[in-house]
Copies of this chain bind each other. A is one copy, B any other.
Amino acid sequence: MTFAQFSRAAALSRREIYRAIYAEHGPSIKVKKEKTALKNLELIFEATLKISNRKGFRAMTMRDLSQETGLSLGVLYHYFASKDELLDMVQRTGRSIAGRILREAAARENEPAARLRAVIQTHLFLSEAMQPWFYFSYMEVRHLGDPEKDRTKAAELWSEKLLADIISEGQAAGVFAPVDVSLLSAAIKAMLQDWYVKRGKYAKRGYTVDQYANFMVGLVERFCLVGSKQAAPRQGS
């Protein structure tokens, strides 16, 4: 699978995302007309990610947000009750989308090696398509209230366990070598996260997400695939 194929397959249109937010947070949002609500929700979320990912959510002021969106302070508070609630909304939305797509990808394959490859690729493609969201979620966990913080950490552990289960299954089937499952899945997660946390670095060096995915899959398979081809791994692409 390539990133281009993934983009076509995954239903990730912006319109739908904001429609889902509007539907879910209906009671909290004091705007009646869907058309203006969607337009402003997109403005607000986009600006929040842009400003926060530059200087941090805590350092972003409501006046920053007002200026960037072109909306007045009063209007902003028609979409959330407080700045903290805005933080929760961004967090929740990203998590629910990411969870859905990852679950679908893991269910599509059966054979352990293929499943492992699919989850790695899908995670990378997803974080590529939603980079600001992933970066935000990663950097702002500390500023969440306890309930939302717990949910975020649980989601991260869930995706790591998804990897661990696949590896364990492969070991039981004899296709993966008996490496330390917990450490290997943690290492895979670390590399997955690096793609969206250090996105700028990879862009500057001219790497595409497809190249990174190929490299990661090669690295992981060469480490734990039993009887992996001993030919030297290829460069980049």
Contacts known (A55-B143, A59-B143, A187-B194); A223 close to B233, Cβ less than 8 A: yes
- In whole angstroms, what is the CA distance A226 to B222 when docked? 13
B186 and A201 contacting across the interface, CB-CB below 8 Å? yes
A182 and B194 contacting across the interface, CB-CB below 8 Å? no
Smallest CB separation, A32 vs chain B (Å): 36
Smallest CB separation, A93 vs chain B (Å): 22
Is A77 part of the binding interface, using a Cβ–Cβ cutoff of 8 Å? no
Within 8 A of B (CB), among A37-66: 54-56, 58-59
> Given B55, B219, B222, B232, which contacts A187 in the complex, CB threshold below 8 Å?
B219
Interface size in chain A (residues, C-beta < 8 A): 39
How many chain copies? 2
Q: Which of A95-103, A123-131, A173-181 contacts B (4 or more CB under 8 A)?
A: A173-181
- In whole angstroms, what is the CA distance A201 to B189 when docked? 12
- In whole angstroms, what is the CA distance A216 to B190 when docked? 12
What is the interface of chain A, defined by CB distance below 8 A to chain B? 54-56, 58-59, 139, 142-143, 177-180, 182-184, 186-187, 189-191, 193-194, 198, 201-202, 205, 207, 211-212, 215-216, 219, 222-223, 226, 232-233, 235-236
Q: For the A-B complex with A178-B232, A191-B191 known, give 17 more contacts whose Cβ atoms are closer than 8 Å.
A: A55-B142, A55-B143, A56-B56, A58-B59, A59-B143, A177-B233, A178-B235, A179-B232, A180-B235, A183-B211, A184-B219, A186-B198, A187-B194, A190-B193, A219-B219, A219-B223, A226-B232
